[in-house]
Amino acid sequence: MKKGMVILLIVILIVALAAVYITFFYYPNCPSISCWDSKLIKCSRAKYLNDANDITWKYTIKGEQVDKCIVNVEVLKVKQGLTKTIIMEGKDMNCALPKEVIAVPESDITICKGILKEEMQTLIIEKLHQYILANVNKIGEELKNIEAITNTTGSNIINYTNSSA
């Protein structure tokens, strides 16, 4: 009788462990974008590898939080592009997408938080800095044509208006 009880307890323990694993740790793999889109609309747990030409992205739907669908985005491999983009490899961020919306999470990093977002912002700022330095004369000429920056004599001053007068 004791042997049967021990076997029953072991079976119950195995079933309980499997239930905990499936409930909290298991993310089914989506083999196609259509599978991913259907999971994203429902905000149900899933993983998807987006093997694009330049970067391999890994998406994991974590679940719902208030009125958002939390998706973890990780850069697995940078295949081509600027050499500086390699710093994004292995980094991730969590993005809070609106529910029932199909969207590429990294397309709007303002809804994301994490190291990957910070690295992406750093790269964007560096690229903008390079653009400004390369085009400083052109930008200066364009600024001269803005009325709020130049006065009627053409000198470069900011023309503030006093709204209380």
pLDDT at 160 over 90: no
Write out pLDDT tens, residues 56-109: 999 999 999 888 999 999 999 998 776 788 889 999 999 999 988 898 998 899
For the chain, the domain total comes to 1
- Is residue 5 assigned to a domain? no
Which pLDDT score, from 0 to 100, does residue 165 have? 44
* pLDDT surpassing 60 at residue 159: no
Instruction: Say if 11 falls within a structural domain.
Output: no
The confidence band for 162, taking pLDDT boundaries of 50, 70 and 90, is very low
Quick check: is 129 in a domain? Answer: yes
Of 12-16, 41-45, 109-113, the one with minimum mean pLDDT is: 12-16
Q: Is 60 contained in some domain?
A: yes
Q: Is residue 112 part of a domain?
A: yes
Sheet with 46-51, strands from edge to edge, namely 46-51, 55-65, 68-78, 92-98, 112-113
Cross-strand bridge partners of residue 50: 57
pLDDT tens per residue across span 1-41: 688 888 888 888 888 887 776 666 678 889 999 999 999 99
Residue 10 lies in a domain: no
Predicted TM-score (pTM) of this structure: 0.70
**Average pLDDT, stretch 119-135?**
89
Residue 13 inside a domain? The answer is: no
List, as one string, the DSSP characters of the chain: -HHHHHHHHHHHHHHHHHHHHHHHT--PBP-SHHHHHHHHHHT--EEEEEE-SSEEEEEEEEEEETTEEEEEEEEEEE-SS-GGGGGGTT-EEEEEEETT----GGG-GGGEESHHHHHHHHHHHHHHHHHHHHTHHHHHHHHHT-TTTB-TT--B------TT-
Domain residue limits at 44: 25-165
16 is a domain residue: no
Residue pLDDT, tens place only, 46-58: 999 998 888 999 9
Residue 156 has pLDDT above 80, yes or no: no
Nearest alpha-carbon partner for 67 in 105, 40, 38, 96: 96
Tell me, what's the pLDDT at 61?
95
